[in-house]
């Protein structure tokens, strides 16, 4: 499957910032949503196969929220380091940083899936979904910032 615009992003001699932003945001969104779909599908399968009749644990719910809160600084640092490593702007580096940011910032989807699989409910689950939405928005904004550096860089060399 070919990703529209990726060849132009990697090989064009000059790259418009808007095109770079569109590609990086699309790549980020696809990776983020892919993680979300896989996590929720797995949680639903586990819930259906296990026939669990559990009582929700408020402690587990809030522990999952605390773990999810740790992902934002980690994701920002890792994606930032991946985007800034080396000298000067680089399109492949920006693409890698967008992918890494999507993987790390979508980690709360797995915490939400665990909450679903274990029958959690109430405020911790709402906070998890809110954090997930916040992390998505932060990553989309970060992909836009990476696009500025990618547009300044030369075309990517052969892989």
Question: Which of these, 4, 124, 145, lies nearest to 79 by C-alpha position?
Answer: 145
Chain centroid, CA 98 distance in Å: 8
What does the block give as tokens for 83? 């985007």
Residue 111, judged by CB atoms within 10 A of its CB (0-12, 13-18, 19+), counts as buried
The answer to whether residues 92 and 41 touch, using CB atoms and an 8 Å cutoff, is no
pLDDT, residue 89, reads 60
pLDDT of residue 157: 62
* pTM for the full predicted model: 0.85
Per-residue pLDDT tens for 30-66? Answer: 999 999 999 999 999 988 887 766 777 889 999 999 9
Q: Which of 7-11, 87-91, 107-111 has the lowest mean pLDDT?
A: 87-91
Quote the strand ranges of the chain, DSSP E: none
Q: What is the pLDDT of residue 95?
A: 86
């Amino acid at each position: 499957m070919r990703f529209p615009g990726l060849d132009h992003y990697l090989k064009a001699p000059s790259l418009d910032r808007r095109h770079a932003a569109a590609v990086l945001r699309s790549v980020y969104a696809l990776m983020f949503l892919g993680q979300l779909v896989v996590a929720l599908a797995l949680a639903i399968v586990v819930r259906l196969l296990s026939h669990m009749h559990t009582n929700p644990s408020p402690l587990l719910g809030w522990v999952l929220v605390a773990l999810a809160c740790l992902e934002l600084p980690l994701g920002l640092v890792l994606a930032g380091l991946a985007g800034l490593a080396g000298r000067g702007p680089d399109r492949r580096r920006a693409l890698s940083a967008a992918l890494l940011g999507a993987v790390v910032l979508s980690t709360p989807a797995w915490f939400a899936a665990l909450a679903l699989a274990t029958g959690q409910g109430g405020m911790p689950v709402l906070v998890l979904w809110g954090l997930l939405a916040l992390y998505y928005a932060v990553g989309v904004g970060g992909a836009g910032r990476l696009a500025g550096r990618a547009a300044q860089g030369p075309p990517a060399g052969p892989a």
